[in-house]
Amino acid sequence: MKKVKVGIVGLGRLGMRHASNLMFRIPNAELVAACSVKQDEVDYVRESWGVAAGYTDFDEFLKNEDMEAVVIVSPSGQHCEQIGKAMARGLHVFSEKPLGVDVAQCRQAERAVEAHPELVFQLGFMRRFDPSYAAAKQMIREGRIGKPFLVKCTSLDPDSRIDSFLPFAPTSGGIFRDLTVHDIDLARWLLESDVTRITAAGGCYKYDELAKCDDVDNAVALMEFKNGTVALFDSGRIAPHGSHVETEIQGTEGMLRIAVVPEKNRVLIYDQTGAVQQCAEDFLERWAEAFQLEMQEFIDCISEGRRPEVTVYDGTKCTEITYAATEALHTHKTVELD
Amino acid sequence: MKKVKVGIVGLGRLGMRHASNLMFRIPNAELVAACSVKQDEVDYVRESWGVAAGYTDFDEFLKNEDMEAVVIVSPSGQHCEQIGKAMARGLHVFSEKPLGVDVAQCRQAERAVEAHPELVFQLGFMRRFDPSYAAAKQMIREGRIGKPFLVKCTSLDPDSRIDSFLPFAPTSGGIFRDLTVHDIDLARWLLESDVTRITAAGGCYKYDELAKCDDVDNAVALMEFKNGTVALFDSGRIAPHGSHVETEIQGTEGMLRIAVVPEKNRVLIYDQTGAVQQCAEDFLERWAEAFQLEMQEFIDCISEGRRPEVTVYDGTKCTEITYAATEALHTHKTVELD
Amino acid sequence: MKKVKVGIVGLGRLGMRHASNLMFRIPNAELVAACSVKQDEVDYVRESWGVAAGYTDFDEFLKNEDMEAVVIVSPSGQHCEQIGKAMARGLHVFSEKPLGVDVAQCRQAERAVEAHPELVFQLGFMRRFDPSYAAAKQMIREGRIGKPFLVKCTSLDPDSRIDSFLPFAPTSGGIFRDLTVHDIDLARWLLESDVTRITAAGGCYKYDELAKCDDVDNAVALMEFKNGTVALFDSGRIAPHGSHVETEIQGTEGMLRIAVVPEKNRVLIYDQTGAVQQCAEDFLERWAEAFQLEMQEFIDCISEGRRPEVTVYDGTKCTEITYAATEALHTHKTVELD
Amino acid sequence: MKKVKVGIVGLGRLGMRHASNLMFRIPNAELVAACSVKQDEVDYVRESWGVAAGYTDFDEFLKNEDMEAVVIVSPSGQHCEQIGKAMARGLHVFSEKPLGVDVAQCRQAERAVEAHPELVFQLGFMRRFDPSYAAAKQMIREGRIGKPFLVKCTSLDPDSRIDSFLPFAPTSGGIFRDLTVHDIDLARWLLESDVTRITAAGGCYKYDELAKCDDVDNAVALMEFKNGTVALFDSGRIAPHGSHVETEIQGTEGMLRIAVVPEKNRVLIYDQTGAVQQCAEDFLERWAEAFQLEMQEFIDCISEGRRPEVTVYDGTKCTEITYAATEALHTHKTVELD
């Protein structure tokens, strides 16, 4: 089996998850280089895992001639520039979401991707790869629920992680761009159409300090789609029970609900509280399998010369929509997209 | 035990449910008179149950001197007039929802109620009396979930009942006034505030014929409340599995979900399909206990000289809101309430 | 509607439940007399509910000429004698389980019932009347799960009620006769056959004091039936979460499970513990509907001249089996029944 | 990272699962040799995966000097002999269950393991490695449910796989040795004690042909343990819904239930049937993660010089117990173990 040689940039929590998947769980991938602005993170993967090459500078990293593909897990503001540089170097690219922090950046990334039709580009909307979401999509394709007309998306980050979020809040872009973006990708994917009209609302119900950076701790949105379908969203940062992502798809002949309870495992505890199901603690636990499967798909696309289903245009669209949703939230006015 | 002597007007499906509860399941009530425009319905309760007096004319019915209270289950357009006449006769009144078909009618009913502070008036928002909704409200009162900030309401009528709905559709007032009205009462009750802004969308996804009467088979709405909280609604008429009413309340310290699956009973079936939970067939099955408990409360309020929690003003507010929601749906514009 | 005039003997917790059902929730019944050795209990129902006649002596009670039927909720040891006396007086009889505290008593009751084929006799195996159990039995009758071959029965009393049980333990007859007896009735009913062989085990895992009266706090049994089918039982008194009665029926084409979680209501709580379903606190809460429905059936059988499905022979059989099971538990030997 | 070089014998369904885990999902393992009596199976892994060496003869296979460890997935009757030969060659051994087909064989394997304290030996009771079972055991260790006193084990193979089982039935050893053995290991592990007394029953309820090889399609057992605790078992081959393995542990302060529904994924389908949860199709789907984790543990034990928790003695004990259970089933008599 020929292995795809991959370099990674960004070794934070999510970066390390991708790195370890590439290192240990993707048989046809080989992690040959790693880049982070933090020397100790680079040292760790070199010394503990034996990754051949380490860098603290992205441009130096790109000069590594061993790499065939790059996985970008750097801060959001750097994604598009790095996509452009990597593809110019002839490298396949996997980039974490969001594609870019504004639409202009996204257009730049689109041009880079279009200039290299021979290269694979995949965006990190991992939820599509979760086996339950994949099964739901497959059932829809098979007509199991008739024509889908309503998607309801809930994304609740655990309150237990709020301390690690608050310092990051000012640069997060706000709840729609940072959190709801995943749901927007799901809704577009499941309804097979694009958003035309957005209304939003929300508030700082628990963490007033978020108001300082024009953000909220919970928000809702109603979006209408070109094909007449609709979606409802609620996103929050204060779930007491864990990392709760739930999606419902109503169709003309049936409906599907994914993850009513974000079960940590299959153990039901009967105690003085009642019958208790423990929940997934954070997104890394909830999406462990999805992160692995999306990376496997990226590597397989390279090996087999296939195109990933998630395109650069999905990234641009989601960025547009999250900007519009944020405007709707701030202005209390319905925003139309063309 | 002194029994409250009650008369009922309207002996359709829901009327018969109320009548049989008064007859057989409310120990301190006595059904002494019944009125319906259909003679055979009147004959049935007189002959089968031994109800003392039967009428086909409301004004004749009101002359019955035996009655202390009236239960109004007539067509919606007659509620307010009948409320006025009955209270003028010195009778306690229970009226089915909606209070009236327009706000002017509701104001008229308000005046009738205000003119008779000695009489009990209760409006038929029975969901509040369902033991699960009552338990949820109680937990909220006790601070179990902190401060509620988001309510999500789903009301899906079963597709199996569409044939009985379609003929009634033209006079139903549309999905928000006919179906979502219950959810709006719940949201106001749970969030303890009033609606200020409404956006809505929807469509005829399965039954195009509803378009002819300016109605839809599914609709969603986003509503903002005076106290900064929000609610999401989705209502539909095509649920394949049964009568599905589900409500979620998110609070700053926890969340409650009522009836994720509208279970018919406690039997789980394992067969070739998988693990199957059968669902409640219609609203009469789902709310059997609630219908009984709300009527018990009405009778107890009379016996004990108490006031029901559900007031005439709740009826007016819900009518205002459903009108505004219907406008939002038709105009595709956000509607503000003052 | 002609009402059946009923007297009740025994006004403890369960007696009061039956009495209040007869008084308030069975439209075609009228509670005309009550008997208890405790004068204050008799006074209560006379004064609060207006029951016409009260007695502290059973023989005096039986002389009441107004009664057509008697409901026996006295201590187990008195059931059979009271059944005999009541039927001799020409009264229909509903008796709580167990039929008798030994088989000889049960035979005596059988003779009384046989001597009065014109009278209705019903034994208080209320679980059969619970809507979920009734639905399961109906599905079996319709062939939904093929031929049933295994029944698994769990009956766990809540630990929170142990203080009220312990004083009663010495006269309870032991866990099989007091608690498992309900499951044995269910297994016979669902498997449509009779027990031929019993093995049992158990222990005082939490409450050593039960050993003093030759009882255990938890026990299990394996029973084989004449038609080759089998049943497993586990019964206990220390459930931390509530009153847990669960039954599984495996058939050749499917299986049914009743009450995996003994849900208190339809509210799911998401909090720091996880997703929590509160449970029924005790048997009166769990079986509220079943107690009412079994009494309704008794009264309807009288009114309509029908025979109840639960017979006196079911009572004898269950008593035989619980004796044999208790012997198996104490001797650690398999006990055969003929 | 130093990789442990492993050879595998047996390339049937389960053998291929272990082989692919070693090949692709255990980072610190390297599959260097494979052995099967079927040449085409050997060819497949050599050609498709590039496994260096292939054999159709076990003794030739053992001569491969590259191997440090052997994974035995051959027919049950060969396990013990192969364990002996492999350990004599100085190889670490992972053997599938059952350890041996009779107790004499198991003792032989014990001697082989005892003769090589420097080598790792692990038996394939993979269920212990399933994250839910591991979590349950951890909760028990932490005292979460007090002292466990009752374990209830259900193992139901899917009816959809009966055609592949029937030809294998005559050599399977019967339902207790082939299927219930996993539950017996779980019960011993969870109750931390050994079986002293067994009663069993069962029958051919759907597949009469199993009677020809003295087997049944469903069986139950009651087992008592040295420390006074008890366990109930039901095992079957005709589950309509999928591969159903469920375990309950009752403790003095709480109870745990694992996999009430053997969920295929997190999708709940609402359709005309009701609310439907699809189930795991077979044991390979249900235990995918457990098979990987047990093999990871074997490799890690070798790398780190640790001992696996599952010992050769667990294998002997389980074999003894399944023999006794089979005897109890056939003789209808309680069997005592010393």
Closest CA relative to residue A97, chosen from A177, A11, A216: A177
The beta-carbon neighbor of B267 closest among C25, C258, C271 is C258
Neighbouring residues of D94: CB distance < 8 A, sequence distance ≥ 6:
D69, D70, D71, D72, D121, D122, D123, D124, D295, D298
Cβ contact A186:A128 at 8 Å: yes
Question: How confident is the model at residue B338, as a pLDDT?
Answer: 82
pLDDT classification of A2: cutoffs 50, 70, 90:
confident
Q: What is the token pair recorded at C284?
A: 């009166």
Rounded to whole angstroms, how far apart are CA atoms D74 and D85?
14
pLDDT score recorded for residue C54: 98
Give the SS3 label for residue A164.
helix
Whole-number Cα distances in Å, B104 to B81, B107, B327, D146: 11, 5, 17, 65
- Nearest CB to D267 within list A27, A135, A265: A135
Q: Label residue D194 exposed, middle or buried (CB < 10 Å: 0-12, 13-18, 19+).
A: middle
ipTM of the complex: 0.95
**Residue C55 near residue C61 (C-beta atoms within 8 A):** yes
Cα C59 to Cα C56: distance, rounded to the nearest angstrom: 9
- Name residues of chain D where pLDDT drops below 70: 1
CA distance C170 to C264: 31
Burial of A62 (0-12, 13-18, 19+ CB in 10 A): buried
Kindly indicate the confidence band of residue C135, based on its pLDDT and cuts at 50, 70 and 90. Answer: very high
Measured CA to CA, the distance from residue C137 to residue C145 in angstroms comes to 10
Q: Please tell me the distance in Å from C236's CA to the nearest CA on chain A.
A: 14
Quick one: which of B199, B226, B224, B196 has its CA closest to B337?
B196
A271/D257 touch (CB, cutoff 8 Å), yes or no: no
Give dist(CA C324, CA C337) in Å, integer: 8
**Contact between C319 and C303 (Cβ < 8 Å):** no
Q: Give ∠ CA B321-B324-B329 in degrees, rounded to 5.
A: 125
**Per-residue pLDDT tens for D35-61?**
999 999 999 999 999 999 999 999 999
Question: Which subunits sit against C, judged by 3+ Cβ pairs under 8 A?
Answer: A, B, D
Q: Where are the beta strands (DSSP E) in chain C?
A: 4-9, 29-35, 53-55, 69-72, 92-95, 121-123, 148-158, 195-203, 218-225, 230-239, 244-251, 254-258, 263-271, 274-279, 335-336
* Structural element, H or E, at residue B69: strand B69-72
- Contact indicator for C89, C114 with CB cutoff of 8 Å: no
CA–CA gap between residue A335 and residue B135 (Å, rounded)? 39
Between CA B298 and CA B167 the distance in angstroms is 32
Residue A1: Cβ-neighbour burial (10 angstroms; 0-12, 13-18, 19+): exposed
Q: Looking at residue B73, what is its pLDDT? A: 98
Task: Calculate what percentage of chain C has a pLDDT beyond 70.
Answer: 100
Give the tens place of pLDDT for each residue, A240-287. 999 999 999 999 999 999 999 999 999 999 999 999 999 999 999 999
Give the pLDDT score at C70. Answer: 98
Out of A218, A224, A333, closest to residue B150 by CB:
A218
State the amino acid at position D195 in one-letter form: V
Which residues in D167-178 are b (16+ Cβ under 10 Å) and which e? eebeebbbbbbb
Q: Provide the pairing of β-strand C121-123 with C148-158.
A: unpaired
Could you say which residues of chain B have pLDDT below 70? 1
List, in sequence order, every residue forming a beta bridge with A336; answer none if it has no partner: A197
C-alpha closest to that of A125 among A45, A174, A70, A190: A190
Provide φ and ψ at C308, rounded to 5°: -65, 150
Pull the structure tokens for residue D17. 């699962």
- The residue of chain D with its CA nearest to that of C261 is D260
Residues of A in contact with B206 (CB under 8 A): 146, 252
Q: Which residues of C touch B23 (CB under 8 A)?
A: 27
Q: How far is A278 from chain C (nearest CA, A)?
A: 4
What was the pLDDT predicted at A338? Answer: 81
Which contiguous run of DSSP H or E holds residue A13?
helix A13-20
Pairing outcome for strands A218-225 and A230-239: antiparallel
Arithmetic mean of pLDDT over chain A: 97
State the average pLDDT over residues A276-304: 97
A240, A263, A274 ranked by CB distance to C277: nearest = A274
Contact list in D for residue C149 (CB cut-off 8 A) is 203, 205, 218
CA A270 to chain C, closest CA, distance in angstroms equals 6
- Residues from chain C that touch B268, judged by Cβ atoms under 8 A, are 256-258, 260
pLDDT of residue B75: 93
Taking the CA of residue C133 and the nearest CA in chain B, the distance in Å comes to: 8
Torsion sign (Cα): A213, A214, A216, A221? negative
- Hey, which residues 244-273 in chain D have their CB within 8 Å of chain A? 253-260, 263-272
Amino acid letter, A306: R
As a whole number, the mean pLDDT across chain C is 97
Distance from CA of B33 to the nearest CA of A (A): 44
Mind listing the pLDDT tens digit for each residue in D157-198?
Answer: 999 999 999 999 998 999 999 999 999 999 999 999 999 999
CA dihedral in degrees (A233, B231, A172, A196; nearest 10)? Answer: 50
Count how many pairs of residues, chain B against chain D, have C-beta atoms within 8 Å.
60
Q: What is the dihedral of CA C181, C184, C190, C194, to 10 degrees?
A: -130
User: Count of CB atoms within 10 A of residue B57's CB?
Assistant: 10
**Nearest beta carbon to residue D201 from set C230, C253, C255:** C230
How far from A49 is each of A22, A60, C57, CA to CA, in Å? Answer: 11, 21, 87
pLDDT in tens, C94-107: 999 999 999 999 99
Please report which helix (H) or strand (E) contains residue A292, including its range: helix A288-304
Q: Count the Cβ atoms, other than its own, within 10 Å of residue B48.
A: 10
Q: Would you tell me how many other CB atoms lie within 10 Å of the CB of residue C309?
A: 14
> What is the pLDDT confidence band of residue C2, given thresholds at 50, 70 and 90?
confident
